[in-house]
Structure 1
């Protein structure tokens, strides 16, 4: 004997959005994080990446030391008569060159996170949109500071003596960090625009090498041809190098500081909006 069972289909009553939200959200929603809080959180994430991958510190330790030693002993005797005399001129400039060159790794980090799909998650978070990019730059500011302190320590061993003392050194490094923060927005743009990290590094080198080597980092521009002086004297790296050099020497170069801050503001105003537009449309 078989027993037949029948299933009655019942139609569910429609559920309103308000009632569904009341079921899902049983407690008060936490407040939206501020722009500063979100930026610092992403900055801490960048610092933690250094902790878990300490090889990232290679470019802010070994690379600057190698540059300082190589150029000091390569050009010191020929240009200044002794390495001790030359390091007084070279160290602030080589510090600027090294830090400006390692800013390109910001764009490489951005491009790597894009390839891993991390940005897809970031865009869904209810945070201030630029916080992601600002966090990268805040984390890299720590790397720039480490590079500056490492080079200063080696320079002191080689005979460098900043006549401006601690205040001049701090002011010079602060000016360098402000410029590097603004300059890094160029590489965040390239990190979002280009497809691979190799292409980001390639384009970055094409921009950085002329700016850093065609400057007053190594020699006084007065010895250069007139047409080259016109470029060198108006280069942002030249203004930055002169400003850092004079601050650490105990002077207050108002014109060089103004030029450096002006270039920094220009980089932020131009490349900041472009970066965020690419980030929102990526």
Structure 2
């Protein structure tokens, strides 16, 4: 007796896409259990930067390490969040190079679920890094001068902007031929953005041309907003401009990254 063929549904619904994204995000998070070095790398680097900048440069820049810690910790939180977007790019490139995405493509799942799953998982890791830096900073003497709401607002703003800017790293990760090239290209892009901003020093000491760039640098707006939310100061304008920059990054880099992802995977 002939069996009637059942047509295969090619389009995945929104609900199924969300579930598949959550499953693949969990896959990325569970990898930490089997490879704890990932968590150590995420934990050691921000603490190392915090100690180095505070105790090596703090006295020279602010006159005391305590004053510099109070100024610089919000900026270090921003710097670490943006640097960690490189991990998203490297992880994507590694999965593609090892054929992981080829195996996922053979499954009846949404094409964008592996990409979205990686980004969502790394967002949770951003929360861990924020909590770690804040906790260790408070052990060194940093004090929040606003409120719990300010801390939660800083975390929310940081995650939103870092998630938006991660699309630039994702595009680099998809275009580069190896994880080493991802790290080289992405680090070369992130380094000038963070060090020519108000994240770590007051731009008033910059040359005029560099100060002009710092005043429009998206990292400056984000650092100023986080600083205002944690220790006081203007919040509304830098936060709004940060969100506008975030929308711009998504509008430009997300479509490009998805297009490259669909052609490469």
Same fold (TM over 0.5): yes
Question: Map of 1:39-78 to 2, 5 A cutoff?
Answer: 39-78=21-60
What is the RMSD computed on CA atoms of the aligned residues? 1.9
Shift of residue 69, structure 1, vs aligned partner: 0.7
For each residue in 1:220-267, what CA deviation from the matched residue of structure 2 results, as whole angstroms up to 9, or x when unmatched? 111111100111111111111011000112456111111111111111
What is the TM-score with the length of structure 2 in the denominator? 0.92
Q: 1:140 and 2:122 equivalent?
A: yes
* Alignment partner of 2:68 out of 86, 95, 117: 86
What is the TM-score with the length of structure 1 in the denominator? 0.87
2:5 aligned residue: 21
Unaligned runs of 5+ in 1: 1-12, 26-30
Residues 192 and 278, structure 1, Cα contact 8 Å, conserved in 2:
yes
* Alignment partner of 1:270 out of 240, 244, 252: 252
Q: 1:245 and 2:243 equivalent?
A: no
- Higher Rg of the two aligned structures: 1
Q: Distance in 1 between matches of 2:55 and 2:169?
A: 32
Shift of residue 20, structure 1, vs aligned partner: 4.4
What SS class does the counterpart of residue 128 from structure 1 fall into?
Answer: coil
Residues 59 and 102, structure 1, Cα contact 8 Å, conserved in 2:
no
Aligned residues: 260
1:221 aligned residue: 203
* Alignment partner of 2:141 out of 156, 159, 162: 159
Q: Distance in 2 between matches of 1:202 and 1:217?
A: 22
Shift of residue 84, structure 1, vs aligned partner: 1.1
Shift of residue 51, structure 1, vs aligned partner: 1.8
Query: After TM superposition, what 4+ stretches of structure 1 lie above 6 angstroms from structure 2?
Result: none
Q: 1:200 and 2:182 equivalent?
A: yes
Shift of residue 195, structure 1, vs aligned partner: 0.9
Shift of residue 53, structure 1, vs aligned partner: 1.0
Q: Distance in 2 between matches of 1:241 and 1:57?
A: 25
